[in-house]
């Protein structure tokens, strides 16, 4: 048996992995907004190609590390094709008579296809790049250092800590039911409710027990004693971070100038 790839941080020694989480977050936000602010399919294609190119640069593999890549690619192509075939705005670039069907493709339809399909794929792949290359606890600590109340920051961190445990427990409860002769043949709403209750109850009890134990562990270490706390981690920004931020700032200035400029 082999485990399916999960959408979780993949530690690698790449330039992208080494960037400060907040710098990457700013880039993700900036590029995502630019996809909708900057007009022109060329920009969407550029962002998409850059996102794809960054996978090998970040020592990541589209095939291995991106869950459901075939589905995503198919969705992107489908979204493009629907616009290209059915959106007939602009000038024709292809007008083919295929028997009973007349295939008319216009430059406006192709542009719309690139907007829809390209934006979809760009956003998904950039988000993947961010998640796969960013240690979530580093992100949480970085957010706490810039003002996120630490209680909320630790909600994220403990959730990240507990999520895999609950996933395993859910699977164990399901398997335990199978071994006790439970049959997952849902024929009536009543049966569905019974099965759901039998699945959820053990998980709920286990979760509540863990919450109790975690509360003892955290309060026993003075979590919540003060409104602020100190940190072991130093929020270090490297030269690469500065360079990335300068480039992003310059890009934003150019975009804002081009959008506001009357010409």
Partner 1 sequence: MICIRGLSFKFQDSAAYALKDVHLEIEPGDFVVITGPSGCGKSTLALALGGYLFRQYAGEASGEVKVGGLSTRQAEIFDVAEIVGLVQQNPEAQLCTLTVADEVAFGLENRRLPKSTIQERSEWALEIVGALHLFDRALATLSGGEKQKIAIAAMMAAKPQVLIFDEPTSNLDPTATGEIFKVIQHIREKAGITVIVIEHKLGYLRPFQPRVVRMEQGRIVSDGRDLPRYSPSESVPAPSKRSTPMSNNGRAVRTEHLTVEYGDSPVLNDLSIDLHTGEFVAVMGDNGSGKTTLLRCLMGLLKPRAGEVVVLGHDTGKTPVSSLARDIGFIFQNPDHQLFAETVWEEAVFAPRNLGLLNEGTSQRVGSLLRRCGLQRYRDTHPHRLSYGEKRRLNLASILSYEPRLILLDEILIGQDSENATMVMDLLREQTLRGSTVVNVTHDPETTFRYSDRVVFLKDGRILLDVATGEALDRLATLGLVDYLPHGRSEELLSR
- What's the first-to-final CA gap in the chain, in angstroms? 60
Q: How many chain residues interact with partner 1 (CB under 8 A)?
A: 55
List the interface residues with partner 1, window 43-72 (CB under 8 A): none
Stretch that binds partner 1, among 35-43, 49-57, 90-98, 195-203 (CB under 8 A): 195-203
Among 26, 38, 148, 214, binds partner 1 (CB under 8 A): 214
161 lies in the site for partner 1, by CB under 8 A? yes
User: CA-CA distance, 243 to 241, in Å (whole number)?
Assistant: 5
CB 49 within 8 A of CB 122: no
List the interface residues with partner 1, window 2-41 (CB under 8 A): 2-3
| Closest approach of partner 1 to the CB of residue 16, in Å | 19
Long-range contacts for 220-228 (Cβ within 8 Å, ≥24 apart)?
223/154, 224/151, 228/150
198 lies in the site for partner 1, by CB under 8 A? yes
Beta 101-106 vs 92-98: how paired, if at all?
A: antiparallel
Among residues 207, 244, 38, which one has the least CA distance to residue 133?
244
- Please name the residue that has the structure tokens 């291995």: 64
| Closest approach of partner 1 to the CB of residue 93, in Å | 48
Among 186, 231, 237, 242, binds partner 1 (CB under 8 A): 231
235 lies in the site for partner 1, by CB under 8 A? no
205 lies in the site for partner 1, by CB under 8 A? yes
154 lies in the site for partner 1, by CB under 8 A? yes
226 lies in the site for partner 1, by CB under 8 A? yes
Among residues 182, 217, 220, 187, which one has the least CA distance to residue 202?
182
Among residues 130, 127, 94, which one has the least CA distance to residue 110?
94
């Amino acid at each position: 048996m082999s485990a399916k790839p999960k959408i979780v941080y993949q530690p690698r020694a790449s330039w992208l992995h080494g960037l400060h989480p907040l710098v990457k977050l700013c880039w993700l936000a900036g590029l995502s907004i630019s996809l909708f602010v900057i007009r022109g399919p060329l920009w969407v294609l550029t962002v998409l190609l850059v996102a794809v190119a960054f996978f090998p640069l970040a020592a990541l593999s589209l095939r291995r590390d991106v869950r459901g890549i075939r589905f995503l690619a198919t969705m992107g192509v489908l979204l493009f094709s629907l616009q290209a075939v059915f959106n007939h705005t602009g000038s024709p670039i292809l007008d083919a008579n295929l028997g009973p069907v007349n295939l008319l493709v216009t430059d406006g339809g192709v542009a719309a296809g690139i907007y829809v399909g390209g934006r979809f794929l760009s956003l998904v792949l950039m988000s993947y790049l961010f998640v796969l290359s960013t240690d979530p606890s580093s992100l949480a600590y970085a957010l706490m250092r810039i003002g996120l109340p630490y209680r909320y920051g630790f909600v994220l961190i403990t959730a990240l800590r507990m999520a895999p445990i609950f996933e395993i427990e859910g699977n164990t409860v399901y398997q335990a039911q199978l071994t006790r002769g439970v049959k997952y043949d849902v024929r009536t709403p009543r049966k569905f409710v019974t099965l759901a209750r039998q699945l959820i109850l053990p998980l709920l009890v286990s979760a509540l027990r863990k919450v109790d134990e975690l509360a003892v562990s955290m309060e026993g270490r003075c979590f919540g004693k003060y409104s602020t706390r100190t940190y072991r981690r130093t929020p270090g920004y490297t030269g690469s971070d500065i360079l990335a931020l300068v480039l992003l700032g310059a890009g934003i200035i150019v975009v804002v100038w081009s959008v506001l400029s009357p010409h």
